[in-house]
Structure 1
Amino acid sequence: VVGEKLTRLIERATEQRIPVIIICASGGARMQEGMLSLMQMAKVSGALDRHREQRLLYIPVLTHPTAGGVTASFAMLGDIILAEPKATIAFAGRRVVEQTIREKLPEDFQTAEYLLAHGLVDTIISRTQLKRTLAQLISLHAPIPQTIKS
């Protein structure tokens, strides 16, 4: 249901030629739903790709936690990716990753700060600064009025 709602929101924004901002806060897609859950991830990502093809802005805001299929799909597809301080942002849990690669991970692995240091998010913004930051980003990326183009 959530994937369908997000897809419709993105499609409507594309039709109206307006930016999309998604506040991500999820433990991940509910895989117990099976194929339907996987299909929703692809459907949302496809809608975002069509939005991008129209050269429209998409900003995901990653909060604590942003994990699983959400991270694997639409959370990391933004033109500008914002994250909250100390947010956990991951695909798989720390233990799963350590067991898979058979290595100890850095203490700050899967934090917003770690992802910023490694170029996976663009900036870290506190919730109190979010409204102002989003307003500035949207105004900077506003389309050029038709009268100025010609």
Structure 2
Amino acid sequence: DAWFSFVATAADHNVEVTGLGTYDAIVELFEGTCGAPVSLDCADATVAGEVETIAATGLTIGTTYWVRVYNWNGGGADQDFEICVYGGGGGGPVNDLCGSVTADPLSVGGSISFSGDNTGATIAGDYVPGSTLDADGMASVWHAFTTT
């Protein structure tokens, strides 16, 4: 197991852990102390090599929180992962979730361009495994248009 801590700078934070290779991450969020931790949330929704996300809400600014990361497969040679904690849990960019995107109008014969980045984006609802929308568990943002 690996333990990390962060001090909340906002009421909402995302905790994302990406397993690398065959690492199948499980991530758990705690408050309290090392001697008396209290589990707040746990994420184990994906398989090896994908992203586990906890969208923590209602955190107390200035409080230290603890993150436990471990491999569903136990020990072994492949124990590599990446962890990222950032403020704004559950929010992300306005176009983070496919269902929350506002479509831009596009006239027939016209053109449209989109720009932006996926900083703070989550993987929630981003892909359908095995389909053309399969993003291999990578956080993405959405853009849409309607013809007029």
Query: Which of the five TM-score ranges fits, normalised by the shorter chain?
Result: under 0.3
Q: Which structure would you say has the larger RCO, counting Cα contacts within 8 Å and 6 or more residues apart?
A: 2
Larger Rg: 2
Q: Which has the higher helix share?
A: 1
TM-score (norm 1): 0.25
